[in-house]
Chains A and B, each alone.
With several copies, the nearest count.
Chain A
Amino acid sequence: MKQSAVPVATILLALVILWYVFAVILNAPFQRDLDRRANETPGTVEFIGKTLSQPKPTLPAPHQVAVNFFENTFLRPITSTRSLVYNAWVTLSSTLLGFAFGTALGIIIAVGIVHVATLDRSLMPWIIASQTIPILAVAPMIIVVLAAIGVTGLIPKAMISTYLSFFPVTVGMVKGLRSPELMHLDLMHTYNASASQTFWKLRVPASVPFLFTSMKVAVAASLVGAIVGELPTGAVAGIGAKLLAGAYYSQSIDIWSALVAGSVVAALLVMVVGIAGRIVDRAMGGRPA
């Protein structure tokens, strides 16, 4: 953890510099338009300064985003609907719920596919097909239908997260549950171990590396799902709502600070899953690389 501080900082610094360069380049044409319409001819330094301080820039400069992010994170009471902490929390809660459901569902389906020939043959193709349905297209319909039967609030959003996150888990776990060495399977066979014993004592431990890798992808997908799910619910609160509100009024700085908030949440979630994975690996006598 400690050793990563310097590299992360270095790379972030490089990114920020790159970001500034792009901000100037991307904001310049519009600034030139503005100046032309206003009949002004600023010097280079002044011009660059202006490109970095537009109220609705094409690409906001890092400091603009940082200021906005800081204000919305620390200067507002966390109960305020404008607080990023509040909005991140709203999104996070449906992310976590959806992730929990998605992981559970993904594992259950994988277990079914690995153990039941009928499911292996018939279900997998349809699961794949289901994943190609663009959620943004069906999310509103799902939410309308659910609202009609009285289900509102967290659950519909979490369902979209679930839908997006179960698939990586299924794919990874089908592979992982089938990854034990043949000799280990033979060993269990000689004990006439039941399917559930083989499952718990062999397949599950063998699938752990696949599980945690899949869960990292799933938790990220789940967050995307939660954000997408916020849109058709009227976008009242959450990171998705902030994004949308920013988009209506081209408030690019708001959009970017919401994006940054989303990314930070994502990085934290992925890190937590990674740490959980490492703890489990350690508990399983994992050999240091």
Chain B
Amino acid sequence: MTGTSPAVVSASKLGLTFQTNDGPVQALSNVDLTIGKGEFVSFIGPSGCGKTTLLRVIADLEKPTSGTISVNGMTPEQAREKRAYGYVFQAAALFPWRTIERNVALPLEIIGLSRAEQAERIKRTMELVNLSGFEKKYPWQLSGGMQQRASIARALAFDADLLLMDEPFGALDEIVRDHLNEQLLELWERTNKTICFVTHSIPEAVYLSTRIVVMSPRPGRVTDIIESTLPKKRPLDIRETPEFLAIAARVRDGLRAGHSYD
């Protein structure tokens, strides 16, 4: 890490072991990681390698069993209580008794925003994820991708400085995905948020990130951290440049190395 900007997330020797009915499962082991303010860090790695677990530790949804971690210089718990981050779960986790609109409003109600401001933010984020017109529908009346977009809208409406996103665009087609990638980059640039982003798409990781963390499974370790040399401004067609492809190749290699196939 550059060291100039203050660390938002800083983990050292982080480990986590789940106790299960048939023995312990080591999900994270010896993870050292520092994320500075304003960084866009992608996590990539084979299924089951511990990406979600790492995000959950940062979010204080899981307690590490070894090592230390701090968020904004505090414990994750304190950071959570200060509402330091917004979280997009791997599944949509919408409340079935609320319409889409009221689902997006949920965090806003909790932080006690006025009705008017709620309405404004809902409108803005629903437009951003292209769900206008579905405000009054219930979650089960939406397609899988639409539900995922609603959950992204909910996190964006919350508007925290740190965004933890667990495969937010997994269920979206390429075109919507490109669109949302652009929007996310634009938002990140404009607001100087720090973003931790789990994805399975190498191009997506390279396109979005300032750094790419490659993980390997059982126990989840960080095998490679790749700094992006791409400029901050990134048109979509940057993805055809050799520089981009070189980074992508390096990520792919890192990924393959940690894999159990071939």
Binding site for B on A (CB under 8 A): 181-184, 186-193, 197, 201-202, 205, 208, 284-287
Mark contacts of B209-247 with chain A using CB atoms, 8 A cut-off: 1 yes-contact digit, 0 otherwise.
000000000000000000000000000000000000000
Q: Which residue of chain B lies nearest to A204 when distances are taken between CB atoms in the complex? A: B97
| B111 located at the interface, meaning its Cβ lies under 8 Å from any Cβ of chain A in the complex | yes
Find chain A residues with CB under 8 A from B85 CB: 190
| B107 located at the interface, meaning its Cβ lies under 8 Å from any Cβ of chain A in the complex | yes
Q: How far is the CA of A53 from the CA of B140 in the complex (A)?
A: 60
Q: How far is the CA of A184 from the CA of B93 in the complex (A)?
A: 6
Asked if B86 and A201 sit within 8 Å, CB to CB, the answer is: no
Asked if B110 and A187 sit within 8 Å, CB to CB, the answer is: no
| B228 CB, min distance to chain A CBs, angstroms | 27
Find chain B residues with CB under 8 A from A285 CB: 21, 96-99, 138
Q: With contacts defined as CB atoms under 8 Å apart, how many contacts are there between chain A and chain B in the complex?
A: 57
A181-B61 contact given A201-B106, A285-B138, CB 8 Å threshold: no
Give me 5 A-to-B residue pairs in the complex whose CB atoms sit less than 8 angstroms apart, sorted by A's number.
A187-B87, A187-B93, A191-B158, A285-B21, A285-B97
Q: How far is the CA of A191 from the CA of B104 in the complex (A)?
A: 13
Asked if A183 and B91 sit within 8 Å, CB to CB, the answer is: yes
| B63 located at the interface, meaning its Cβ lies under 8 Å from any Cβ of chain A in the complex | no
Q: Which residue of chain B lies nearest to A197 when distances are taken between CB atoms in the complex? A: B110
Q: Which residue of chain B lies nearest to A284 when distances are taken between CB atoms in the complex? A: B97
Asked if A192 and B97 sit within 8 Å, CB to CB, the answer is: no
Asked if B110 and A193 sit within 8 Å, CB to CB, the answer is: yes
Asked if B93 and A191 sit within 8 Å, CB to CB, the answer is: no
A183-B81 contact given A189-B60, A190-B61, A287-B138, CB 8 Å threshold: no
Find chain A residues with CB under 8 A from B93 CB: 181, 183-184, 186-187
Q: How far is the CA of A193 from the CA of B95 in the complex (A)?
A: 15
